[in-house]
Each structure stands twice: as C-alpha cells, then as structure tokens.
Amino acid sequence: MTHESQSNVLLAANISVRYAGKPPVLRGLRLDVHSGEVLGLVGQSGSGKSTLAMAILGLLERKRVQIEGSIAFEQRDLLKLREGALRELRGRKIALVLQSPLSSLNPALKIRTQLKEAWHAHASGSTSECDRAIRKALDSVSLPSTDDFLCKLPSHMSVGQAQRVLIAMAVMHRPALLIADEATSALDVITQSEILKLFRELNRGSGMAILYISHDLASVAGLCDSISILHEGEIVESGPAEAVLFHPQDEYTQRLMAAMPKIADRLTLSKAAAL
C-alpha cells in the first residue's frame, strides 16, 4: 500500500446491529477500509461478518433489524440513503462476491445474458459498447470471451469458472470497493489459490479496495495488507497483517493464532501463490 492509501479512508463503519428480541449481532463495531487496501475481516461463524457486509450494502431489512451508528462511504452515510441511492451504489461503487457462485448465478440464463444485465444495471450504450465491456471484464479475470463460452449456462462451467464470472460481473464498473464474503471457502485448494491471485491482481491493477471476509487465516494471511479480528460482534484487534498474525495483542486473537501453529509456513506459501 502507498502512504496515500493508508491515509485515505474509503469506508468507515461505526455501527451496532440488533435483530428484534435477540442480543446484538454487532456492538459498537468500528472498521476502516482505506483506498487501495486489501483488508481481511476474520471471525468465526456467527461473529457478525456477513451482517456487516449486508449493512454496508443496505441489504438488512429495516423492519426486522435495528441499526445504530453510521457507515461513511466516500463521505456519505450509507445508513441515511434511500433505497434508490443505494441501488445506484451497489455494483457501481460497491460490489459483492459471495461464497457459492453456482447459487449466485441464474441457472436458466446464459453467461452472456447475465453479463449484459450487469452492464446495463449501471450503464447505457450500444451493443458494441456492451460487448467491449464484457470482453474487458472477462479478460480481467482470465476467462475467454468466445461465443462458445458466453453461450454456456452456469451448470456447464466449473465452480472456479463460475466464481470468475461472478468476479467479472462485480468489477465490470470498476467499483471503489469489492466485498468478498467467504468467496473462496467453497473452492478446492488449487482454485482457491487462483482466485486469491486474481484478487491481488485486480487490487494492484486498478487500485480497487477489497474487504476480504473469511474464517480462513491462511488465505487472509496470503492476500491481505491489514487484518481486523471480529469476535462476538466487536473488532478486538486491527493492524498490519504480519503484526496481527505474528504479534497478536488480544487474547482471542492469540487463541486463533495458537490454533494454527504452522501459520508462518502457510503465510509464506499463500503469499507466493498470490504473487
């Protein structure tokens, strides 16, 4: 990361989230994502990671959820925006890649159709302009833009190819922030390594910030510039990746590291794969 990206906060969250009749899911959570940064958000299942992602995107049902605080993105509080304004931001300024690509893609539509819909959601222009944007997006994730590939249904692709299609759709409009929510957890080890390398290339090539949400410390270690540890709805530790991994200060973070005694070896391997 450059010094400029370290000092430029793209997104600053300070929120509490509670579902009706239940204990808080997020409690005074504070999280900053800087421009051009890859930030890893680590926490066990049920710690509130996906709730934070949905809150950023404005996808929590306000009738069922009580949200307090603010989520400042490019100096606008996302929690105060109307649905129309949020819809303009989703996919154009903030994009999301989820865990299961074959569930996220429409099984009945060809890949070309789904990519066209993603482009038309935030752009207008001729067929040739749309085709160029699709080719560019597919090139950015190392997928072919041939008619044979574009005419495929999701079920005719590998899981790794389907995940790359999702990422192509997510980066088509060059968002400032990409949220990857457990985006590699459903992949085999080799495909996971390829997707991590792709995320790093997209980050370096475009300066796109990435909030990488995962419970997998090895993938976080290999990809992320900084790490925040989420425990029971609160950020208990944040800092540069190597400081958090090798010199954890919080007791919970220390227990996480102790559960992975070979983290140093895995960090070396993961970083080599991401280069």
Q: How far apart are CA 204 and CA 149, in angstroms?
A: 27
**For 240-258, what is each residue's pLDDT tens digit?**
999 999 899 999 999 988 8
Give me the percent of the chain exceeding a pLDDT of 90. 71
User: Confidence band (pLDDT; 50, 70, 90) for 47?
Assistant: confident
- Are 187 and 197 a contacting pair, CB within 8 Å? no
pLDDT of residue 5: 43
Q: What share of the chain is helix, strand, coil (3-state, %, to 5)?
A: 45, 25, 30
Determine the Cα–Cα distance for residues 265 and 137; give it in Å rounded to an integer: 34
Tokens 């249904």 — which residue? 153
139 contacts 149 by C-beta, under 8 angstroms: no
**Helix/strand/coil for 72:** strand
- Token pair for 32: 């900053």
17 with 47: CB under 8 angstroms? no
Domains of the chain in sequence order: 1-82+183-275 (3.40.50.300), 100-174 (no CATH)
Q: At what angle do helices 111-120 and 127-140 cross, to 10 degrees?
A: 110
pLDDT tens digits along 205-216: 989 999 999 988
191 near 159, Cβ under 8 Å?
yes
* Short-list 272, 265, 273, CA closest to 245: 265
Nearest to 226 by CA among 8, 40, 3, 36: 40
Q: Amino acid identity, residue 98?
A: L
Give the pLDDT mean for 134-139.
95
Confidence band, pLDDT 50/70/90 cuts, at residue 261 = low
Residue 222 has pLDDT above 90, yes or no: no
**The predicted structure's pLDDT at residue 265:** 53
- For residue range 150-169, list pLDDT tens digits in order: 999 999 999 999 999 999 99
d(CA 70, CA 125): 36
Give the rounded percent of residues in the chain with a pLDDT score beyond 70. Answer: 92
The residue type of 75 is Q
Q: What's the rounded Cα separation, in Å, for the pair 15 and 232?
A: 14
Give the closest residue to 132 by CA, choosing from 108, 149, 115, 148.
115
Summarize the confidence of residues 255-275 as an average pLDDT.
60
pLDDT at 187 over 80: yes
Distance CA 179, CA 171 (A): 11
Q: Is the pLDDT of residue 259 over 60?
A: yes
